[in-house]
Amino acid sequence: MVTRYLLTALMAFSQGDISAIWLTVKLASMVTLILLCIGTPIAWWLSQTRSWLKGPVAAVVALPLVLPPTVIGFYLLVVMGPHGPIGQFTQALGIGLLPFTFWGLVVGSVCYSLPFVVQPLYNAMSAIGSRPLEVAATLRAGPWQRFFTVVLPLCKSGFLTAAVLGFAHTVGEFGVVLMIGGNIPQETRLVSVQIYDHVEALNYTQAHWLSAAMLVFSFVVLLALYSLTATKSTVGARREPD
């Protein structure tokens, strides 16, 4: 049943659809990797600091949750454009301008999906508390060892959640993509934009196939995520009382 659907779907996808899917997967994987690298130190700092900067930084990280994607896209266009600071920097480096390129999309998606990675990491890191780290310190573990031998293993499920959410949210973006990526085949035309194109062109069958694929993908991802967190809490409940 499932294989038959997949086969029919694959046959139903046009060359353009396939390249949009491939581009989306490439973008989402790259963005997830970058976000785990950037998000981990941010989440760690937020969970440990007592500085007054914690509030402002947390608010900035969470901004994409509430702002319309068009606003983010607009500001990114401005700063990455020929007169913006990032634009001038990339021009000076000889890379050229980022808007309407794949790398522009990467930068935009990193900003847009940041809270979806930082939030689960921050929650997991705060939940550890200070005690395991104090124990590790009295057992001669320096700051890096404490992070790799205590924080990472204790936050495993937080990292998994963060990666899944970051990936899925990047796959699902549309507004930011349209603002800073445009609609260039093989460069910036992602699945969400491709669906938009199909609908514009009254290509409803094609739109159906791609939309259904997105629907199934999102459902499977969320199902996996929730069953994952559910198993974790039953393990916790098995703990014997003292």
Partner 1 sequence: MSQIEIELDLPLSSGFRLALSSQMPGQGFTGIFGPSGSGKTTLLRFIAGLQPCHSAILKVAGQYWQQGKQCLAVHKRPVGYVFQEASLFPHLSAQGNLDYAIKRAWPGKAPQVSDMIELLGIGHLLKQFPHQLSGGERQRIAIARALLINPSVLLMDEPLAALDEARKQDILPYLQALAGEIAIPVLYVTHSVSELSKLADEVVMLHKGRVKAQGTISEVGDALGFSDPQHPFSILPAQVSQTHPHWKLVSVQCHKARLWLADSALKPGTPVRLQVQARDVSLSLSAHQDSSILNIVPAVVDNMLNQEDGMLVRLHSDAGPLWAKISLRSAEHLQLHQGQRLHAQIKSMALTR
> Does residue 94 interact with partner 1 by CB under 8 A?
no
Which has the closest alpha carbon to 42: 65, 67, 69, 62? 62
* Residue type, position 235, single letter: V
Site for partner 1 in 169-208 (CB under 8 A): none
Please give the backbone phi and psi of residue 239, each rounded to the nearest 5 degrees, phi first: -55, 135
CB of 241 to partner 1, least distance (A): 9
> Does residue 6 interact with partner 1 by CB under 8 A?
no
Site for partner 1 in 116-135 (CB under 8 A): 131-132, 134-135
> Does residue 139 interact with partner 1 by CB under 8 A?
yes
CB of 140 to partner 1, least distance (A): 4
Show the tokens assigned to 177.
């993509």
Alpha-carbon span 81 to 134, nearest angstrom:
47
Which has the closest alpha carbon to 25: 36, 33, 14? 33
CB of 40 to partner 1, least distance (A): 18
**Residue among 200 and 242 whose Cβ is closer to partner 1:** 242
Please say whether the beta carbons of 101 and 187 come within 8 A. yes
> Does residue 216 interact with partner 1 by CB under 8 A?
no
Among 12, 71, 154, 160, binds partner 1 (CB under 8 A): 154
Alpha-carbon span 86 to 197, nearest angstrom:
30
Binding site for partner 1 (CB under 8 A): 131-132, 134-142, 149-150, 153-154, 238-240, 242
